[in-house]
């Protein structure tokens, strides 16, 4: 499967770039940047990253069949990020549903999917690679590949392998294989969580991920299948 790559030394946000130019670009166009001046995170948060130390990219999806899978594209992408990190022999890699990648109890990668269905979808991925110091006051503790491995790695090599693996995964759509990986690396499994669902608050224990990648939460005697939302982990 073909893909295209663009790289910027500096840009506002790779997600914003693709959202503004999607009409001119083809399916599987990847845009990466050394620095983003207005990096975006989920839920209107910002995503900050030291210049040149990390991997930040977005890719465009316009393929009609793939767009039909939009609810799970970012989860499949998280699976590919987690898998590639494991090739560096990093221990304790997991996925915090829906699409954060963790090492131990710290976040190493965040993913933001945006777009205008059914026209296009943009998936943005930020991975902490060689950054060693993180700002105070982050919502959750962060880590990086280099902090875990105690050595820097080549950001471009990681990028090329990951682009290739994401394109392969989304072209072949072997959903069962990705689901199996997700289930065996489910950070939230067994944890007590709080979730807002249909404007109601539920507290329960995470029981797994169903065949549609929804998070299953056992709350009293009900098994909820949650397809979106912020999950708060309770102590
Ligand atoms: C999150 O965990 O809140 C999602 C973070 C997503 C960050 C990436 S970095 C590349 C792409 N461009 C952006 O502006 N955001 C995403």
Instruction: Indicate the pTM of the whole model.
Output: 0.96
Per-residue pLDDT at 7 = 98
Question: Which candidate, 49, 147, 48, places its Cα nearest to that of 106?
Answer: 147
pLDDT per residue rounded down to tens, the chain (235 residues): 789 999 999 999 999 999 999 999 999 999 999 999 999 999 999 999 999 999 999 999 999 999 999 999 999 999 999 999 999 999 999 999 999 999 999 999 999 999 999 999 999 999 999 999 998 878 889 999 999 999 999 999 999 999 999 999 999 999 999 999 999 999 999 999 999 877 889 999 999 999 999 999 999 999 999 998 889 999 7
Instruction: For ligand 1, atom 2, name the residue with the nearest CA.
Output: 110
Q: Is 36 in the pocket of ligand 1 (CB under 6 A)?
A: yes
pLDDT of residue 189: 98
Q: What is the pLDDT of residue 199?
A: 84
**Does the CB atom of residue 13 touch ligand 1 within 6 A?**
yes
Q: How far is the CA of 149 from the centre of ligand 1 (A)?
A: 23
SS (H, E, C) 49-74: CCCCCCEEEEEEECCHHHHCCHHHHH
pLDDT of residue 85: 98
Give yes or no for a contact between 202 and 216, defined as CB atoms under 8 angstroms apart. no
């Amino acid at each position: 499967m073909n893909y295209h790559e663009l790289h910027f030394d500096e840009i506002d946000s790779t997600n914003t770039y693709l959202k503004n130019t999607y009409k001119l670009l083809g399916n599987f166009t990847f845009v990466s940047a050394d620095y983003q001046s207005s990096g975006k995170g989920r839920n209107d948060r910002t995503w900050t990253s030291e210049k040149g130390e990390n991997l930040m990219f977005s890719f465009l999806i316009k393929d009609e069949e793939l767009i039909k899978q939009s609810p799970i594209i970012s989860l499949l992408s998280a699976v590919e990020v987690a898998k590639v990190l494991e090739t560096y022999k990093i221990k304790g890699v997991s996925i915090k549903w829906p699409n954060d990648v963790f090492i131990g109890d710290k976040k190493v990668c965040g993913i933001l999917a945006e777009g205008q269905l059914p026209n296009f979808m943009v998936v943005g991925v930020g991975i902490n690679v060689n950054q060693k110091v993180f700002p105070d006051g982050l919502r959750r503790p962060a880590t990086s590949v280099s902090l875990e491995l105690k050595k820097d790695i080549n950001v471009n090599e990681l990028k090329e392998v990951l682009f290739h693996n994401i394109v392969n995964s989304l072209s072949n759509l072997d959903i069962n294989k990705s689901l199996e990986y997700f289930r065996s690396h489910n950070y939230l499994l067994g944890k007590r969580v709080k979730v807002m669902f249909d404007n109601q608050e539920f507290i329960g224990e995470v029981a797994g991920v169903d065949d549609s990648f929804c998070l299953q939460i056992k709350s009293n005697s009900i098994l909820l299948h949650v397809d979106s939302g912020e999950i708060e982990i309770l102590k």
